[in-house]
Amino acid sequence: MPTPKPEALIEPELAERVVERALRNGGDFAEVFCEQRSGFSLAIDESRIERAQRGGERGAGVGVAAGETTYFAHVDGLAEADLERAADAAAAALDSQHSEHRPLHAGEPPALQRIEVDPASVAAERKADLLRACDERARSAGAEVDQVMASYAESRRLVTVANSEGRFASDDRTRVRLGVQAVARRNGSVETGFETLGAHRGFELVDGGAGEQIAERAARVALTLLDADPAPAGAMPVIVGGGFGGVLFHEMTGHGLEADHIQKGASVYEGKLGEQVAQPHLLAYDDGALAGEWGTDAIDDEGTPTQKTAVIEQGRITSYLYDLRSARKDDVASTGNGRRESFRHLPIPRMTNTYIAPGEATPEELIAGVDDGFYAVSFAGGQVDPTTGDFVFGTSEGYLIEGGKVTRPCRGATLIGNCLEALGRIDAVANDFEMKTGFCGKGGQRVPVGTGQGHVRISELTVGGTAVG
Amino acid sequence: MATPHPIDLESLAQRAVDAALSAGAGDAEAAAEDSVGREIRVFGGEVESLSAAGERGLGVRAWIDGRVGFAYGTDLSGDGVTAIAADAVEASRVSDPDEFAAAPQPSTDAAPAPDGYLDPETAAWPTDRKVELAKAVERSALAADPRVVAVETAVYVDEEVSSAIRSSTGLGGSYQASFAYAYLQAIAEHDGCKQTGLGFGLGRSPAALDPEAIEREGAERALQLLGAAKPESRTCPVVLDETVAASFAGFIGGVLCADAVQRGRSPFADRLGDEIASDVLAVADDGIDLEGMASAPIDAEGLARGRTPLIEGGRLAAYLHDSYTARRQGDGRRSTANAARSGYRSAPSVATSNLIVEPGSASLDELLAAAGDGIYVTDVAGLHSGVNPVSGQFSVGASGILIDDGALAAPATEFTIASDLVSMLSAVQAAGSEARWVPFGGSVKTPPLLIGEMAVGGS
């Protein structure tokens, strides 16, 4: 099957006129970002299908850069008059001579992700049935499963970017995501389990039983936690689970490697390019081209093709993550990390799919090496201050490790620490690599990101729980 | 501005309602919104970015025999409106019927005057003056203390929004509102230790913002944490500053929404009338306070908003309702007009408007003295992952200053505070005398709070 080619939302001639118009009062660089997005979502709660929602938007953002300043305006609609209005608003604050631009050049169209079943072509009733099946599967996991909430969401984003450096590129992005939350109850105690499945793929992702599996997993977590004790508090060795455990690396290293933080002196990784920050076995990437993954696109939101960027090799920092603006500042090429939530936002350096490459050991071997410690299977999320490097993670499923064995489940544990310290204490990575999906917020913009790793061992980290020893 | 031309939002909403009825809806409701805004980011004395935003859109809710659907879009041409309405009707056909789902009915309450929420100064200020304000925030922070080495971002944002609602049951209304806020993230450095501090201000227009107060707060918050160390793990009294108290108040407001209660996902379910907090605590939801950034004369269903006491004298006085949860509750319960939506892209659901935690009589020094030995918590992190709203349990990252013998002592960072919302409410021992509006946890006005006991996880 030949790879489908993305269709441009506007003609190159129109794009060129808009770029030219944006530069009429001067500026070093101008771009127009056009977007058409449509989506459908549905949920089940109390075993009833609800919150059926459809939506769509079409619009454009025009940016003009002059010196250190970017002027930006966005409009609804993609008609020529709309685009002109955006160009005029962006150019309004400038009062210099007309700047030249390079003629647009549509390069080789990027390879799109393979979408086997366009979710928009699947009847809504089948999506409702998928949610009913998830509900049923989660409830059948145990009588103590008291509530199940599941949601399905699909989206398609067509984008076309043109800029004064001659770039003209388009992308066609289809994403599907399913999330299931189960609540289990016993006497006064109530626990939740949450699991998601998402990708830059079509309806085939959740079809054929894959959706029901995550429903069962969410229910099992909630049931397991019913037997949980309060988590311990204090510093101890920690094993972090594969897959969404990678959000730890995303927060404690990925954000600090985004070039805008570096250039503002707001990252603990500033000036550390080439330096040893982790043990020599550690290898990590940001890869926006990873086939079918949640954080994958053909081009970033500035038209730069996405790529695989090694950020840590042999424990040394090998690259920061750049968009066009920060790349220009450091006189390097963009790494394809210029992303934006929508046409209403300016692009900024963002992660795509960020992961620690698999190691040699098995997860069991990692755990066997811990006498007394904590096993964080997965997280509800996390947060970092890139300037200080302080981070915090809420665990959604955790266990005690006693004498090299996983023993009792623990509830309510938070992991807290400092990036550079914790990164240097990763002393082993297991071979059970897995990618998971999430949304990352930065500067008020939310974008889909992938996180991944095998099991990871950190020789010491602070666990904040309610049990005070 | 990037807005094409003025538009009659009320007739747009009415056309959408008519289109949904024509497409087969039994009842329909439409909300139309038109906004303009600016965002100015300053770094290193220069404008880093200046954004002008114009946005208008339409959201339509349709009911067919207890089935509800929602659709939104930005194509406001005749065909566009018809398509959005048809999408809402189509979406409703996928839903399962719910005996309590029906279009909201008008009440006899008169909505407050729809003015006072829009400050003409927001539109009147030229962009240059707003840029100058953003620059002033950054500049004075750097001049305040040599240890303030940088400002990561100084940001100014404002927005004016017009909103109109119409329903086939005769509900409707419109209003305009404006807001402006500015914040900065200051970076302080000393002896190789870096700390950051957030300063912010908010109001209905840039005229309400004091750049010096914003920078002073950011600089002070960063400076006071220099040299911070990890405290020892223990259980001790904790004083939450206004920003931290607001974040927790937001969670408490969330679990007092009837939706969470009826679906069995609130630690405060079946507790109406019970003593759930110490008697020093009083909390209300106020949808019309002119100082509240979430205020409006009507809610997202077009009902007249007001004030709902939630916790009075320590007792749980009410849950927050929209039309659906009120009908589901039965017993003649009425909506508290707490239907909210985040713009035209989302269907209405129950949410807090402005949460007001009533101030007490103690000064901050008196709260610290009463704490004795404990921690003054000035920042929390990881709230979205660290609080379980179903069980109420939480463990979040924190930083602040140790309280030693009733007075502030050494700074502390990299620790966690843990408890659960139910225990925390009953452990509130005193509320400070000075309340402040905080844009965290929604829109919250709260004083600092003294909590008798919390688990601190450190070294």
- B374-413 per-position pLDDT tens digit: 999 999 988 877 788 888 888 888 999 999 999 999 999 9
Average pLDDT over chain B, rounded to an integer: 94
Q: What is the mean pLDDT of the segment spanning B107-131? A: 91
| DSSP structure class, residue A132 | H
Residue A469, pLDDT > 50, answer no
For chain A, give the mean pLDDT.
94
Average pLDDT over residues A408-419: 89
pLDDT band at A4 (very low <50, low <70, confident <90, very high): low
Q: DSSP labels for B293-331?
A: TT--SB-TTSPBP-EEEEEETTEE---B--HHHHHHH-T
Nearest to A381 among B127, B385, B415 (CB): B385
Instruction: Tell which residue, A196, A249, A184, has the closest CA to residue A411.
Output: A184
Q: Is the Cβ of A280 closer than 8 Å to some Cβ of chain B? A: no
A464 vs B397: CB contact, 8 Å cut-off? yes
Overall residue count recorded for chain A in this entry: 469
Most confident region among A263-272, A405-414, B10-19, B225-234 by mean pLDDT: B10-19
At A204, which amino acid appears?
E
Selection from B62, B116, B118, B54 nearest residue B93 by Cα: B62
Paired with B445 in beta bridges are B356, B437
Report the pLDDT value the prediction gives residue B387, as an integer from 0 to 100. Answer: 82
At residue A467, the pLDDT reads 61
Cα dihedral B87, B93, B96, B102 sign: positive
Return the SS3 of A87.
Answer: helix
Cα B193 from Cα B186, distance rounded (Å)? 14
φ, ψ of residue A132 to 5 degrees: the values are -65, -40
For A270: left if phi > 0, alpha if psi spans -120 to 50, otherwise beta; the answer is beta
A138 pLDDT higher than 50? yes
B159 at interface of A, judged by CB pairs closer than 8 A: no
In this structure, the strands spanning B148-167 and B27-43 are antiparallel
SS3 state of residue A281: coil
Measured distance CA(A386)–CA(A252) in Å, rounded: 8
What distances in angstroms separate CA B367 from CA A117, A453, B430, B457, one per listed residue? 61, 46, 7, 22
Percent of chain A with pLDDT over 90: 82
Rounded CA separation B379/A373 (Å): 28
Residue B147 · residue B188 · CB < 8 Å = yes
Give A466's contacts in chain B (Cβ within 8 Å).
393, 395, 418-419, 455
What whole-number percentage of chain A has pLDDT above 70?
98
Name which of A104-118, A406-420, A442-456, B46-60 the model is least confident about.
Answer: A104-118
pLDDT digits (tens, 9 = 90+) for A439-459: 999 988 999 999 999 999 999
Region for B392 from its dihedrals, namely left if φ exceeds 0, alpha if ψ lies in -120 to 50, beta otherwise: left
CA angle, A432 then A438 then A439, to 5°: 155
CB within 8 Å of chain A, chain B residues 440-459: 455-459
pLDDT band at A45 (very low <50, low <70, confident <90, very high): very high
User: What is the largest distance, in Å, between two alpha-carbon atoms of chain B?
Assistant: 72
B70 contacts chain A (CB < 8 A): yes
Instruction: Report the C-alpha gap between B212 and B209 in whole angstroms.
Output: 9
Whether A437 and A199 have beta carbons less than 8 Å apart is answered as: yes
In the structure, what pLDDT confidence band is assigned to residue A1 with cuts at 50, 70 and 90?
very low
| pLDDT tens, residue by residue, A424-438 | 999 999 999 999 999
**pLDDT at site B263:** 93
Chain B neighbours among A 363-382 (CB < 8 Å)?
Answer: 379-382
A462 vs B43, B127, B414: nearest CB: B414
Question: Which residues fall within 8 angstroms of residue A214, CB to CB, at 6 or more apart?
Answer: A134, A178, A180, A195, A196, A197
* Cα distance between residue B327 and residue A335, in whole Å: 54
* Predicted local distance difference test score (pLDDT) of residue A394: 87
Q: Of the candidates B46, B219, B211, which has an alpha carbon nearest to the alpha carbon of residue B149?
A: B219
A314-335: average pLDDT = 97
- For chain B, give the percent of residues with pLDDT over 70: 99
pLDDT range class, residue A414, cuts 50, 70, 90: confident
Q: In which element (H, E) is residue A223 found?
A: helix A210-225
Contact B1 A89 (CB under 8 A): yes
Indicate the residue of B397, B419, B455 with minimum beta-carbon distance to A416.
B397
Q: How many CB pairs under 8 A join A and B?
A: 259
Pair B43, B59: CB distance under 8 Å: no
pLDDT of residue B4: 57
CA distances from A217 to A130, A140, A142, A145 (A): 16, 12, 12, 12
**Cβ-count burial A262-295 (b if 16+ within 10 Å, e if not):** bbbebbbbbebeeeebbbeebbbbbbbbbeebbb
Q: Where are the alpha helices (DSSP H) in A2-42?
A: 12-22
Q: Tell me if A393 and B87 make a contact (CB, 8 A cut-off).
A: no
Note whether B88 and B28 are within 8 A (CB): yes
Q: Judge: B393–A466 Cβ closer than 8 Å, yes or no.
A: yes
Instruction: Please give the pLDDT value at position A428.
Output: 96
Number of neighbours of residue B393 by Cβ within 10 angstroms:
22
CA pair distance B398, B382, nearest whole angstrom: 9
* B271–A contact, CB cutoff 8 A: no
Using alpha carbons, list the distances in angstroms from residue A302 to A36, A344, A405.
Answer: 16, 14, 49
Strands B234-240 and B27-43: unpaired
Mutate to test the interface with A, among B189, B385, B424 (most CBs of A within 10 A): B385
The pair of structure tokens assigned to A466 is: 């309610």
Question: Is residue A194 within 8 angstroms of chain B, CB to CB?
Answer: no
Query: What pLDDT was estimated at residue A466?
Result: 64
- pLDDT tens-digit readout, B61-71: 999 999 999 99
Calculate mean pLDDT across residues B147-154: 91
From chain B, the residues in CB contact with A381 under 8 A are 382, 384-385
The model's pLDDT over B314-367, given as tens digits with 9 standing for 90+, comes to 999 999 999 999 999 999 999 999 999 988 999 999 999 999 999 999 999 999
Count CA atoms within 13 Å of residue A273 on its CB side.
12
Window from A204-213, A281-290, A406-415, B90-99 with minimum mean pLDDT:
A406-415
How close is the nearest chain A Cα to the Cα of B372, in Å? 20
Question: Which of A82, A41, A40, A81 has its CA nearest to residue A58?
Answer: A82
Q: In sequence order, what are the residues at sequence separation of 6 or more whose Cβ sits closer than 8 angstroms to the Cβ of residue B341?
A: B31, B59, B300, B347, B348, B349
* CA distances for A305 relative to A37, A110, A289, A380, angstroms: 20, 7, 8, 31
Residues 276..335 of B with a Cβ closer than 8 Å to A: which? none
**Mean pLDDT of all residues in A68-90:** 95
* Residue of A346, A391, A414 with shortest CB distance to B51: A346
Q: How far is B95 from chain A (nearest CA, A)?
A: 5
* Residue B421 vs residue B388, higher pLDDT: B421
Which pLDDT band, with edges at 50, 70 and 90, does A385 fall under? confident
Asked whether the beta carbons of B174 and B114 are under 8 A apart, the reply is yes
CA dist A21 and A90 (Å) reads: 10
Q: pLDDT value at position B3?
A: 53
Interface touch B75/A265, C-beta < 8 Å? no
Q: Which amino acid is at A226?
A: L
Contact between residue B150 and residue B31 where contact means Cβ atoms under 8 Å apart: no
